[in-house]
Chain A
Amino acid sequence: MTNADWPLWEVFVRSRRGLAHTHAGSLHAPDAEMALRNARDLYTRRSEGVSIWVVPSAAVTASSPDEKDPFFEPAADKPYRHPTFYEIPEGVKHL
């Protein structure tokens, strides 16, 4: 007998043109086509979206929170990447 448990999918919805797809939640579906339709019915029934992505949850590779420090800390000591690092004389515009 086939396993009746459907895999889990992550759903990303673009709420309107010009915005990125954002994670809306997850759902179960037997395959990608059905996942897309289920996502449409579930996550956009109040016209919340204009475009949907579905991704098998198993296909998502995530950074581990255990490695949070080595993974993200190095970026924190490079303030020169941010525009506020630089002092500009008052009155200089369009910079």
Chain B
Amino acid sequence: MTDAPVTLGEAPLATAALALGDDALVLSHRLGEWAGHAPVLEEEVALANIALDLLGQARTLLSLAGDEDELAYLREERSFRNAQLVEQPNGDFARTIARQLYFSVHQHLLYGQLAAGDGPFAPLAGKAVKEVAYHRDHAEHWTLRLGDGTEESHARMQRALDALWRYTGELFEPVEGLSVDWTALREGWLAAVTEVVERATLKLPDGPQSGAWTAGAGRQGIHTEPFGRMLAEMQHLHRSHPGASW
């Protein structure tokens, strides 16, 4: 049963559910890695809250596409549909916050559009958008504090924004099955992120938002090297006991 990778449904709904679900699942996993390592105890609680929200979203979304555990634990790396941004390692706290800022602003605007529409994701997005608004708020407040804090935090935050910039373009590649105005999404995202970044006395990177290896690649199952290790860790126990219940 573990030999053959789980095949994806071809229906656009399943494709979209996997894209959104994998984004939430993978980012939740990364945030879960912070447990016991956060810079201050209050932040242990905050990061875990965000991780738990995302995990809840992931479970709902994956269940739309199939069995949540089969999808999470028995797919190979090439079958995951998350954007490369969310799989990027935590790095220092600035790197995590930059990833949160880029992603949560995107997710907030995306879910806002989905919630306002009448598609199959509207109910889920309507609930999740409130959670995501808080994730965005958290990321924005920390971006301000790190950017406009000390010389060191400013430098770290700028480095983080620069390093992750190339993974942001993918967030605006159309996903089959989602009726979203992707151009408006990109414009809204750029305006919102620019505003926060500048208020934080930081500069938005001016390089390309994507390259040959990042443009829509995660959605096609092309991931970055750290992702394979993340999955190996996440899946090994489940895969070691084929057919077991937990």
Does A associate with B in a complex? yes
A residues with CB within 8 A of B: 2, 6, 27-30, 33-34, 37-38, 41-42, 45
A27 CA to B45 CA, complexed, in Å: 12
Binds A, one of B137-145, B161-169, B189-197, B229-237: B137-145
Residues of B within 8 A of A33 (CB): 141
| CB pair A41 B40 closer than 8 Å | no
A28 touching B141 in the complex, CB below 8 Å, given contacts A2-B150, A41-B49, A45-B49: no
| CB pair B45 A37 closer than 8 Å | no
| CB pair B138 A37 closer than 8 Å | yes
| CB pair B145 A38 closer than 8 Å | no
How close is B196's CB to chain A, nearest CB, in angstroms? 14
Which are the 6 A-B pairs with shortest beta-carbon distances? A38-B42, A41-B45, A41-B46, A41-B49, A42-B45, A27-B42
Quick one: closest B residue to A31, CB to CB? Answer: B145
Residues of A within 8 A of B46 (CB): 37-38, 41
Given contacts A33-B141, A37-B46, 8 further A-B contacts (CB under 8 A): A28-B40, A29-B42, A38-B46, A41-B45, A41-B49, A42-B42, A45-B45, A45-B49
Residues of B within 8 A of A27 (CB): 42
B residues with CB within 8 A of A: 40, 42, 45-46, 49, 137-138, 141, 145, 150
Q: Taking each of A6, A28, A30, A37, which has the highest tally of chain B beta carbons within 10 Å of its own beta carbon?
A: A37
Residues of A within 8 A of B137 (CB): 37
Residues of B within 8 A of A37 (CB): 46, 137-138, 141
| CB pair A34 B141 closer than 8 Å | yes
| CB pair A30 B145 closer than 8 Å | yes
How close is B29's CB to chain A, nearest CB, in angstroms? 20
- A sample of 10 cross-chain residue pairs with beta-carbon separation below 8 angstroms, ordered by A number, consists of A27-B42, A30-B145, A33-B141, A37-B46, A37-B141, A38-B42, A41-B42, A41-B45, A41-B46, A42-B42
A28 CA to B42 CA, complexed, in Å: 8
A2 CA to B46 CA, complexed, in Å: 24
How close is A95's CB to chain B, nearest CB, in angstroms? 49
A45 CA to B40 CA, complexed, in Å: 18
How close is B155's CB to chain A, nearest CB, in angstroms? 15
A30 CA to B40 CA, complexed, in Å: 11
A45 CA to B49 CA, complexed, in Å: 8
Residues of A within 8 A of B49 (CB): 41, 45
A30 CA to B42 CA, complexed, in Å: 11
A45 CA to B134 CA, complexed, in Å: 13
Residues of B within 8 A of A38 (CB): 42, 45-46
Quick one: closest A residue to B145, CB to CB? Answer: A30
A28 CA to B46 CA, complexed, in Å: 13
How close is A16's CB to chain B, nearest CB, in angstroms? 19
A41 CA to B137 CA, complexed, in Å: 13
A34 CA to B49 CA, complexed, in Å: 15
Quick one: closest B residue to A42, CB to CB? Answer: B45
A42 CA to B46 CA, complexed, in Å: 8
Residues of A within 8 A of B42 (CB): 27-29, 34, 38, 41-42
How close is A33's CB to chain B, nearest CB, in angstroms? 6
